[in-house]
């Protein structure tokens, strides 16, 4: 059985990973606003916020929803790889824009809802109508990737089977859904209701680190070696408890705020 790290060690690691991720996100902003980079940076931002949410839920003993958020992180990881393999960032952005515009328009057209929703929700829709009409003419065809197939391609089937697939049973109701929560809420059982759930913290950290590296590799940017060193060291922490990632993070901090951690790839 894998020996996981003390929860305090995970808290410290996530705190450092959070700061490291913020540095990466600022680095993205220095090099243009291409659609690919925008999607990648947003996926990374979503992942780290979800990880911090998992830690908060863990401290509340809400392990069920920890797994739900874990699945959300993996879903974005698998989406990112699929988008990269087929170079579908542009069409994904158009498809997303179209779907979101249509949903807002449906709300605005519903007489029972539009008066209950703040006008701020519909702000900018009129300016976006022209783009929506143009996209409709293009008829962008995109469908969500098969997570199992993507995981197999990435050689991450363990994260799929024991992360994404398992968590799916918690996203969708099961017959015994909430039984452990019932026992804890009512205190009708004196036995420990939940087993050791540090696995969800450990594997969520791993999923975020893999997503970040996938994003860096996919971007049109070249990143400093020390960035990859940190990610490698962080993975070592997850498997062995090594604290080397902290030293690497210290070195990153010593480089100062004026250092560029990435640069544009030169075209051949």
Judgement on whether residues 229 and 149 belong to the same structural domain of the protein: yes
For CA atoms 268, 218, 158, 146, the dihedral sign is: negative
* pLDDT beneath 70: ranges in the chain: 1-2, 32, 114, 190-194, 267-268
Domain contains 54? yes
Domain contains 2? no
Nearest CA-CA partner of 159 in 45, 220, 238, 230: 238
Gyration radius of the chain's alpha carbons: 21
Q: Is-contact 13 245, C-beta < 8 A?
A: yes
Number of separate domains in the chain: 2
Domain contains 247? yes
18 Cβ contact list (under 8 Å, min separation 6):
48, 51, 52
The pLDDT of residue 1 is 42
The pLDDT of residue 165 is 94
The pLDDT of residue 156 is 95
Judgement on whether residues 209 and 134 belong to the same structural domain of the protein: no
Domain stops at, among 141, 174, 202: 141
Q: Which domain holds residue 100?
A: 90-141
The pLDDT of residue 91 is 97
Domain contains 1? no
Helices (H), the chain: 7-29, 35-59, 63-86, 89-109, 125-138, 147-154, 157-159, 165-171, 179-186, 198-218, 225-240, 244-254
Judgement on whether residues 94 and 122 belong to the same structural domain of the protein: yes
Judgement on whether residues 197 and 248 belong to the same structural domain of the protein: yes
Paired tokens of 152: 């197999």
The pLDDT of residue 17 is 98
Domain contains 122? yes
- pTM exceeding the 0.85 threshold for the entire prediction: yes
Judgement on whether residues 63 and 164 belong to the same structural domain of the protein: yes
Domain contains 217? yes
Q: Tokens 């604290």 — which residue? A: 243
Domain stops at, among 77, 112, 141: 141
Judgement on whether residues 133 and 66 belong to the same structural domain of the protein: no
């Amino acid at each position: 059985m894998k020996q996981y790290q003390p929860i305090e060690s995970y808290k410290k690691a996530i705190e450092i990973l959070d700061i490291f991720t913020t540095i990466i996100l600022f680095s993205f902003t220095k090099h243009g606003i291409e659609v690919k980079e925008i999607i990648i940076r947003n996926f990374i931002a979503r992942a780290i916020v979800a990880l911090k949410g998992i830690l908060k839920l863990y401290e509340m003993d809400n392990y069920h929803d920890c797994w739900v958020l874990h699945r959300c992180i993996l879903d974005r990881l698998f989406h990112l790889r699929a988008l990269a393999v087929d170079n579908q960032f542009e069409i994904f952005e158009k498809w997303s824009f179209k779907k979101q515009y249509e949903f807002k328009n449906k709300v605005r057209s519903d007489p029972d809802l539009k008066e209950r929703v703040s006008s701020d929700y519909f702000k900018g829709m009129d300016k976006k109508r022209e783009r929506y009409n143009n996209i409709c003419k293009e008829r962008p065809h995109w469908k969500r990737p098969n997570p199992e197939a993507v995981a197999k391609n990435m050689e991450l089937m363990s994260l799929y089977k024991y992360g994404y697939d398992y968590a799916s049973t918690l996203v969708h109701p099961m017959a015994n859904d909430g039984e452990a929560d019932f026992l804890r809420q009512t205190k009708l059982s004196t036995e420990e209701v939940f087993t050791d759930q540090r696995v969800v913290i450990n594997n969520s950290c791993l999923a975020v680190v893999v997503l970040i590296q996938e994003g860096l590799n996919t971007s049109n940017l070249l990143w400093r070696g020390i960035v990859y060193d940190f990610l490698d060291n962080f993975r070592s922490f997850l498997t062995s408890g090594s604290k080397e990632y902290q030293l690497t993070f210290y070195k990153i901090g010593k480089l100062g705020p004026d250092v560029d951690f990435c640069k544009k790839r030169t075209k051949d």
